Structure 1
Amino acid sequence: MRAEEVPFGEICRALGLSRSTVGHWFYGERARHRAELDADVRCPRCARPARDPDDQGAYAYLLGLYLGDGHLVTRAKVPVLRVYCADAWPGLIEECEAAMLAVLAKNVQRVQKTGCVGVQSYSNHWPCLFPQHGPGHKHERPIYLAAWQQPMIDANGGSFLRGLFHSDGCRVSNRITRGQKVYTYPRYCFSNESADIMRLCQQSLDRLGVNWRMCRRNMLSVARREAVARLDEFIGPKW
């Protein structure tokens, strides 16, 4: 079939074998080595010299989602990044998948759970991009940005906050009754048990000039009209 110039993919399908197996028959160890090189080049942190992700906005957004509703499993043979998105927000599911594809993933799966979808991708290189991973809950261990992450988050604070608020935040309408009058105004809230993740959110808000206050130990509120309007520029309601 190869001598007859049948396309590589058609040979694999005709034989019912994986591309890696057929590639090994064709090229021996060169096929495996080339695949490893391609993976390393695709991972910006494994490139030589190391570089930032090509789509820094997508990476900042995905980091925000990960710090909120995501986790990285490294005990499996191939690490898997999962972000859980509520069924109520199909647009969020789409945006999460698009961010994974833009940052590193070649394939993304959606696993339906009760009331939510696990958006996930397998890659040996997800741990390279998320050094915040570790055993246990995020609020039980220190969460800090690596030296190479900090400038990216500083430059893409809007995308980072979008990820944080899309995971552990919301935009709601507050109603206040004073006498016979009822006042309604929009407000953003962000909740997280990790003091370190809350600090990262506060720092990004400060850099963008957004006024905030702590309602309680684990909840942040943005309620001033000009501050809400600023957040509306890059967050807005979930959809």
Structure 2
Amino acid sequence: MEQYSPSKRDEALALLRSGTTNRAVAEHLNVPRGTVGWWLHEDRKRRGVHYEQPTDCPVCTDREFDHPAYAYLLGLYLGDGHITSKPKQHHLSIFCDAIWPGVIDEAESAMQKVMTMPRTGRRQRNNCVEVKSYSKHWTCAFPQHGPGKKHERPITLEGWQRQIVSAQPWHFIRGLIHSDGCRNMNWTTRIVQGERRRYEYPRYYFTNVSDDIRRLYTDTLDALGITWTHCTRAGKPYNISVARRASVALMDAHVGPKY
């Protein structure tokens, strides 16, 4: 490691104690960020200062935060989200199909609105884009996190989460559809004036193996006055269909197709 004069170290510590970031100090003094971080660590240790990583976690700080963005992100998390918690590695991941750039952008935007301090990033593998946000506090924001797959453990919302979903139901529904749902065109045939004709109509599908997550979806649809039905495919009742014209019109107005 390159040796630096005590005066430069003292200048760095003075800037750090005034609130200047490690990056800014490193750039200002032309010193590696690792060296600046080490100086800061040793200074805190010498002064007996216990360091807590700053956070704007809405649960830990009890601050006001963007409820519509949270309701949307909750829907995404329950569908295609995952939290990785390891020593020095904590992050929330939302997995999106690469063909929907709008959903990818919204996922990252929602993360940044719920917690502004953590950095975000994207990683693409084949046709999947993983949108990530790095903070161990995502487990506070999503207490449904736990070992194993979501459909293998109970999924229930905390009281404060239920209040947000109740106040922002469409954002929650939109997040669920953008993760595990779709809007497509279905078809059937009818006899019109003695002639069989093909008839097409839009339908919203939501598919999730977890009984609890499907129930959260259908309970919210019920609260919104949306008519839905179970749609069993290949003997598995994991699909929820919304096909009534008035209900589809409401879904179109508040959810819409992926983009």
Alignment gaps of 5+ in structure 2: 1-7
Deviation at 1:22, TM superposition (A): 5.2
Corresponding residue to 1:59 among 62, 67, 70? 70
Question: Which residue of structure 2 aligns with residue 213 of structure 1?
Answer: 229
Deviation at 1:78, TM superposition (A): 2.9
Corresponding residue to 1:44 among 33, 44, 58? 58
User: CA separation of 1:76/1:11 partners in 2, compared to 1, >3 Å: closer, same or farther?
Assistant: closer
The answer to whether the Cα contact below 8 Å between 1:12 and 1:22 also exists between their aligned partners in 2 is: no
Question: Which residue of structure 2 aligns with residue 136 of structure 1?
Answer: 148
- Whole-angstrom distance in 1 between the partners of 2:242 and 2:211: 18
The answer to whether the Cα contact below 8 Å between 2:58 and 2:114 also exists between their aligned partners in 1 is: no
Provide the TM-score with structure 1 as the length reference: 0.88
Between 55-64 and 99-108, report the one with greater CA deviation: 99-108
Corresponding residue to 2:242 among 222, 225, 239? 222
Corresponding residue to 1:121 among 133, 136, 148? 133
Q: What is the DSSP-based 3-state SS (H/G/I as helix, E as strand, rest coil) of the residue aligned with 1:15?
A: coil
Question: Which residue of structure 2 aligns with residue 233 of structure 1?
Answer: 253
Provide the TM-score with structure 2 as the length reference: 0.81
- Whole-angstrom distance in 1 between the partners of 2:129 and 2:197: 42
Any runs of at least 4 consecutive aligned residues in structure 1 with deviations exceeding 4 A, and if so which? Answer: 7-10, 22-25, 32-35
Deviation at 1:185, TM superposition (A): 1.0
- Whole-angstrom distance in 1 between the partners of 2:149 and 2:37: 37
Question: Which residue of structure 2 aligns with residue 166 of structure 1?
Answer: 178
Question: Which residue of structure 1 aligns with residue 158 of structure 2?
Answer: 146
Question: Which residue of structure 2 aligns with residue 182 of structure 1?
Answer: 198
Q: What is the DSSP-based 3-state SS (H/G/I as helix, E as strand, rest coil) of the residue aligned with 2:145?
A: coil
Query: How many residues are aligned here?
Result: 231
Alignment gaps of 5+ in structure 1: none
Deviation at 1:147, TM superposition (A): 1.4
- Whole-angstrom distance in 2 between the partners of 1:104 and 1:124: 12
Q: What is the DSSP-based 3-state SS (H/G/I as helix, E as strand, rest coil) of the residue aligned with 1:229?
A: helix
Q: What is the DSSP-based 3-state SS (H/G/I as helix, E as strand, rest coil) of the residue aligned with 2:140?
A: helix
Corresponding residue to 2:216 among 200, 205, 222? 200
Identity, % of aligned positions: 46
The answer to whether the Cα contact below 8 Å between 2:95 and 2:131 also exists between their aligned partners in 1 is: yes
Question: Which residue of structure 2 aligns with residue 156 of structure 1?
Answer: 168
Between 14-23 and 220-229, report the one with greater CA deviation: 14-23
Corresponding residue to 2:96 among 82, 85, 92? 85
- Bigger Cα Rg: 2
